[in-house]
Amino acid sequence: MSVKEKGYLTTEEVRALPQYPTEEDFKRGPMAVIECPQEIPCNPCETSCRFNAIHVGKPITTIPQFTGENCTGCAVCVTRCPGLAIFVVDKTYSEDMATVTFPHEYRPLPKKGDIVDAVNRQGQFVCKAEVLRVLNPKAFDHTSIVTLIVPQDVVDDVRGMKRLPRD
């Protein structure tokens, strides 16, 4: 089944994307993972990255290209992508654990130290995870980002968290 038909990418499909960071990239630290496989007229990822790590160019429907050597893992692109298709993965966090940063547009926001339910691209439970940080500065224009600490072997699977219940 195509990505268009099923509406999500599998972990294997993400790893096969040309813009997926290399092993060497991941050894340097936090890296943007751009899960955008379709030719759509869109380029805020490119214009928001002041380190020239993302290139769309012309035509604007070109699939984003990624240059891992330029990526600092700042996560600004995560907050700018209208498709919520960019994540930052840090496989250098510790030997056993890695971190994944994703946009989270639901209230209430979690807090550092909370234990939450980490979910995959289909919203299915993957594991319990500790919240490392939550960032919501004005510059992010109401798109908060959450970073979870998860086991290394599921960091390419976790792409979000279950919404917290309202008070």
Instruction: Decide if residue 73 touches ligand SF4 (CB under 6 A).
Output: yes
The stretch near ligand SF4 (CB under 6 A) out of 76-84, 102-110, 122-130, 146-154 is: 76-84
Residue 97 structure tokens? 């654990």
If the CB atoms of residues 30 and 110 are measured against ligand SF4, the closer one turns out to be: 30
CB 141 → ligand SF4: shortest distance, Å? 14
CB 59 → ligand SF4: shortest distance, Å? 12
Query: How many residues sit close enough to ligand SF4 to count as binding (CB under 6 A)?
Result: 26
Within 17-36, which residues bind ligand SF4 (CB under 6 A)? Answer: 32, 34, 36
The answer to whether 112 and 129 have CB atoms below 8 angstroms apart is no
Q: Exposure pattern of 17-48 as b/e (b: 16+ CB <10 Å)?
A: bebbbeeebbebebbbbbbbbeeeebbbbbeb
DSSP string, 100-140: EEEEE--SSPP-TT-EEEEE-TTS-EEEEEEEEEEE--GGG
Query: Which position among 9, 33, 54, 118 is part of the footprint of ligand SF4 (CB under 6 A)?
Result: 54
> DSSP strand E in the chain: where?
31-34, 54-55, 65-66, 86-90, 97-104, 115-119, 125-135, 144-151, 160-161
The stretch near ligand SF4 (CB under 6 A) out of 64-72, 92-100, 130-138, 146-154 is: 64-72
- The contact mask relative to ligand SF4 for 77-96 (x = CB under 6 A, - = no) is x---xxx-xx-x--------
Query: Which position among 13, 29, 42, 163 is part of the footprint of ligand SF4 (CB under 6 A)?
Result: 42
Contacting positions for ligand SF4 (CB under 6 A): 32, 34, 36, 42-45, 48-49, 51, 53-54, 64, 71-77, 81-83, 85-86, 88
